[in-house]
Amino acid sequence: MFRTAQLVLRETKRVLGATTSLRFVGGFSTASNASQRLAGKVAVITGAASGIGKATAEEFIRNGAKVIIADVQDELGHAVATELGPDASYMRCDVADEAQVAAAVDLAVERHGHLDILFSNAGIEGVEPQDDMVTLDLENFDRLMAVNARAALAGIKHAARVMAPRRRGSIICTSSVAGVLPFPAFAMYSISKATSIAIVRATAEPLARDGLRVNAISPGSIMTPLLLRCLGQLSETSSGLSEEIKQMVMEPVEIARAALFLASDEAMYVTGHNLVVDGGYSVHKGVDALVARTASS
C-alpha cells in the first residue's frame, strides 16, 4: 500500500498544480465555491431512483454535477429525473448485467463528454433465512454476490475504462456496516458487502496507477425501502435485532454528504478507504457483545 500512497500523492500534486479550483486554508484544501464542490463534474449513480442513491443525486446536482440516474425502477427513475431537473437523466440499468453497467458509463460520456464520478450504490438484501447453513440457498447467495459485489467490480472496470485516459476520477461503492460487523440474520448479505470492501481495497493500487481513486461507504441503518423490507423480515425472526436497528436509523442524506466528500477534490488524498457512517454502532457493538458474554459466564 506504500506504492498506492506514492501514486496518489504524485497524481494529487499533478492535478493541484494544473488547477486553480482549490485554495488552502489552515493547511486544508477547500473548493473555491463551497456550494459548487462538483462544478463541471459528471456522475453515474446506480440505484438512484430511491434511498441513498436519490439523496446523493440531489446532493451532487446541488453542488454543480450532472447525473445519470441508473436503476431498474423505470417509472420512479423517470419521475426522479424530472424532479431533479435538466442536470439529471434516467436510464434503465440492471447492475447484475455488465453490459448495462457499461452502457450507463457510455451514456455519460456520450451526453456530457466525460465521466468524473461513479457511485456504485445499487444493492439488494436477499431473502431469508440466511443464517441456517444446512439449508443455505446458494442461488440467493449468487444473486446477492452478483448485485452487491460483482457489480461493484464491473462498475470499477468500466469507469476506469473512460476515466484512465484523463487520469482523474472518483469511484465510490456502497457497502454496509454489515460488511464490517456481520449480521447473522443476514449472513449472506454480510458476506456480499464484506466482499465489496475487499474489492475497493484490492483495486486501490491498480487504479492509483491511472490517477483514479476508489473508496467504499459503509452505512449503518438508513431509512430506505431496503431497510424497511429488512425490518419487516427481522420482526418475525429476530425481534431484538429489529428493535436495535430501529434505534440507530439515520437519513439517506447523511450518506449522500459522505459520498459528496469522497467524490470531490477535497478527498484527493483518500483512496482504498472504507468510510463507516453508522453513528459508532460498529465500534461499540463488539464491546456490548463481550460484556454480555462476560456477564453470562
Model confidence pLDDT, tens digit, residues 37-64:
999 999 999 999 999 999 999 999 999 9
Predicted local confidence at residue 250, as pLDDT: 82
* Among 90, 189, 269, 281, the one annotated catalytic: 189
Pull the grid cell for residue 168.
482523474
- Separation CA 98–CA 228 (nearest Å): 28
| Catalytic (active site) residue 189 | yes
Predicted local confidence at residue 25, as pLDDT: 36
**Which residue would you say has higher pLDDT here, 96 or 294?**
96
pLDDT band at 11 (very low <50, low <70, confident <90, very high): low
Predicted local confidence at residue 221, as pLDDT: 80
* Per-residue pLDDT tens over the stretch 68-106: 999 999 999 999 999 999 999 999 999 999 999 999 999
Q: What does 157-176 look like in DSSP terms, one character per residue?
A: HHHHHHHGGGT--EEEEE--
* Per-residue pLDDT tens over the stretch 233-248: 555 555 455 455 555 6
Classify the C-alpha dihedral 252-74-188-148 as positive or negative. negative
**Other C-beta atoms lying within 10 Å of the C-beta of residue 275:** 18
Predicted local confidence at residue 31, as pLDDT: 42
- Whether the per-residue pLDDT at 289 is higher than 60: the answer is no
- Whether the per-residue pLDDT at 197 is higher than 90: the answer is yes
The least confident of 69-78, 91-100, 131-140, 201-210 is: 131-140
> How large a percentage of the chain has pLDDT more than 70?
75
Predicted local confidence at residue 55, as pLDDT: 97
The least confident of 17-21, 70-74, 99-103, 197-201 is: 17-21
Q: What does 160-222 look like in DSSP terms, one character per residue?
A: HHHHGGGT--EEEEE--GGGTS--GGGHHHHHHHHHHHHHHHHHHHHHHTTT-EEEEEEE-SB
pLDDT band at 127 (very low <50, low <70, confident <90, very high): confident
What is the distance of C-alpha 172 from the center of its chain?
A: 5
The least confident of 146-150, 239-243, 283-287 is: 239-243
Predicted local confidence at residue 10, as pLDDT: 65
- Separation CA 238–CA 241 (nearest Å): 6
Q: Are 221 and 252 in contact (CB under 8 A)?
A: no
